[in-house]
């Protein structure tokens, strides 16, 4: 399938709200076409100088239009795709486009695994002293708090490419376990440093009892 493309060094997961500030003339044209023709467009992820995976998004609302024609828009992320080809100008348009292949995603996962991930997120947030609200496992997916688990940009990109929910949750579980273990060790080290930094009274050694 051929769709317009708006490359960004950003990652958006299916179902996520995508706020964009549009200022380049070619992308102003793209938003106009989205409004008039009800088309969607893709955001390929620019990473390490390449583009291979991205997410299709649909325009929801133009929130603000400025005097110079710039716009604040809100979109919603839909399907993940793999980019098969890219062209700087799509047909007779100023903006780029390309052929994409949509991934067959699923959101089927073991309920117990979901709860494990949710509990681990809660543990991480408590360790970081960040407010945490209980999450209903029935509505929770691997993308619910994907941007708020301490994943690196590269890790988020790996997550985006996983089509099975069970695999995504296992990936997050492993990441959370590793992160929690590291933070626990940091906290232990911090307490040891604080303890050793205090003045203490030591009993003097009786050298008569020592042999050399």
61-115 tens-digit pLDDT:
999 999 999 999 999 999 999 999 999 999 999 999 999 999 999 999 999 999 9
Cα–Cα dist 24/149, whole Å: 33
Tell me what the mean pLDDT of segment 12-36 comes to.
96
Domains located in the chain, CATH noted: 2-102 (2.30.130.40), 111-196 (no CATH)
**To 10 degrees, the CA torsion angle through 82, 87, 93, 97?**
0
- CA 158 distance to own-chain centroid: 10
Beta strands in 5-153 (DSSP E): 17-22, 41-47, 50-65, 71-83, 97-102
155-200 pLDDT, tens digit each: 999 999 999 999 999 999 999 999 999 998 887 777 776 666 555 5
Is 160 within 8 Å of 13 (Cβ atoms)? Answer: yes
Alpha helices in 108-164 (DSSP H): 111-127, 153-161
Rg of the chain over Cα atoms, rounded to whole angstroms, equals 25
Q: Check residue 205 and report its DSSP letter.
A: P
Beta strands in 91-170 (DSSP E): 97-102
- CA 179 distance to own-chain centroid: 16
Instruction: Label residue 119 by pLDDT band (50, 70, 90).
Output: very high
Alpha helices in 130-164 (DSSP H): 153-161
Q: Check residue 18 and report its DSSP letter.
A: E
pLDDT of residue 186: 82
43-60 pLDDT, tens digit each: 999 999 999 999 999 999
Cα–Cα dist 120/205, whole Å: 48
User: Rounded to the nearest 10 degrees, what angle do helices 165-196 and 111-127 cross at?
Assistant: 30
């Amino acid at each position: 399938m051929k769709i317009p493309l708006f490359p960004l060094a950003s990652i958006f997961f299916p179902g996520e709200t995508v706020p964009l500030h549009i200022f380049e003339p070619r992308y102003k044209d793209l938003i106009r076409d989205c409004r008039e023709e009800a088309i969607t467009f893709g955001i390929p992820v620019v990473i390490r100088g390449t583009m291979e995976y991205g997410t299709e998004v649909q325009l929801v609302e133009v929130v603000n239009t400025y005097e110079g024609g710039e716009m604040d828009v809100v979109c919603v992320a839909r399907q993940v795709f793999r980019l098969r080809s890219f062209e700087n100008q799509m047909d007779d348009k100023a903006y780029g486009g390309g052929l994409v292949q949509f991934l067959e995603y699923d959101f089927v996962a073991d309920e117990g695994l979901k709860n494990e991930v949710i509990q681990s997120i809660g543990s991480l947030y408590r360790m970081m002293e960040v407010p945490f609200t209980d999450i209903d496992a029935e509505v929770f997916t691997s993308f619910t708090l994907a941007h708020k688990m301490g994943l690196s940009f590269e890790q988020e990109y790996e997550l985006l490419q996983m089509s099975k929910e069970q695999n995504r949750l296992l990936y997050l579980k492993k990441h959370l376990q590793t992160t929690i273990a590291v933070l626990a060790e940091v906290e232990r080290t911090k307490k040891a440093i604080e303890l050793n930094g205090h003045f203490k009274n030591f009993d003097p050694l009786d050298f008569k009892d020592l042999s050399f």
